[in-house]
Structure 1
Amino acid sequence: MMLTWKEEYSIGIEIIDEQHKHLFEIGNQAYELLKNELRVDKYDDVVQILEDLRQYTKFHFQTEETYMLKINSDQLPIQKIEHAEFIKKIFNIDFRSLDANTNKHLNEILFFILNWILDHVLHKDKLIAQR
């Protein structure tokens, strides 16, 4: 497994922490697929992982934004911007180039998810709980 949940990733809001753990699971699915040398054609699997990531992040961001609205968090405007950028990035993936070089795109997806976790979750989402 590439992504392992550690207690330091917790922001202290149970519903959000549980959803972050699921994002780790999606990242690990991508990692396991990347490392699976027995699968020659990974395109359909990558498309499914991307679709899961797209749908789950929309759901997750809605949960975070609703929570921030409820507690009147001053973090909501910047979070909405970053969430929109994330959604834009994963919805703008070119599936033709994905088919041409699946492993390259899997690496890019993993790098993107890992950086998102290290930057957004560990730094910006932690601010949500610090009212």
Structure 2
Amino acid sequence: MIFKWKERFETGIEEIDKQHKRLFEIGTQIYNLASKDDGTDHYDAIVGLIHELKDYTVYHFRYEEEQLEKANYSDIEAHKMEHQRFIDKLNETEAEDIDVNQKQVLMDMIEFIINWVSGHIVGTDFKYRELLMETLK
């Protein structure tokens, strides 16, 4: 499984880890759909999963940013900018592109999600881990 949750992704903050795991689950659904080679048009399912990913990502980012604001995290603006870049990338996926080349759009999205999510969690989210663990006690 390409979107396998690993212990190294755990922030130690239960709610954030739960939300990160959900993002991995959606990524797995996208991968499973991309792996289907049944000659069927999966446009509606692809669009549905992309919308689900966008909606859940916005929910997760809002939650995380609220926690960072409460904790007076000093690097919150840079963190928000990273979040916005992810959302912007998701928004770049056009319905026409999906319709023309479903498999390629999904594979590009999978590569982007894997690189971004794993890098963001281990790189950026771990910077606030100690502060939030202390604040949420």
Segments of 5+ residues of structure 2 without an aligned counterpart are: 132-137
Aligned counterparts, 1:48-127, within 5 A = 48-127=48-127
Cα distance in 2, alignment partners of residues 56 and 39 from structure 1: 29
Instruction: State the one-letter code of the partner of 1:40.
Output: T
The number of aligned residues is 131
Between the aligned partners of 1:39 and 1:22, the Cα distance in structure 2 is: 28
Give the deviation of 1:92 after TM superposition. 2.1
Q: Using the alignment, how far apart are the partners of 1:28 and 1:39 within structure 2? A: 20
The equivalent of 1:25 in structure 2 is 25
Identity of aligned residues (%): 37
For 1:30-65, what per-residue CA distance to the aligned partner results, in whole angstroms no more than 9, with x for missing partners?
110111122521111110110001100000000000
SS at match of 2:72: coil
Q: Return 5+ residue gaps in structure 1 as ranges.
A: none
Residues 125, 39 of structure 1: alpha-carbon distance in 2 compared, 3 angstrom cutoff: farther
Question: Aligned partners of 1:73 and 1:23: how far apart in 2?
Answer: 23
* 1:10 maps to amino acid: E
Q: How far, CA to CA, are the matches of 1:29 and 1:39 in structure 2?
A: 18
> RMSD over aligned Cα, in angstroms?
1.1
What is the match of residue 14 of structure 2? 14
Taking structure 1 as the reference length, the TM-score comes to 0.95
Cα distance in 1 for partners of 2:6, 2:34 equals 23
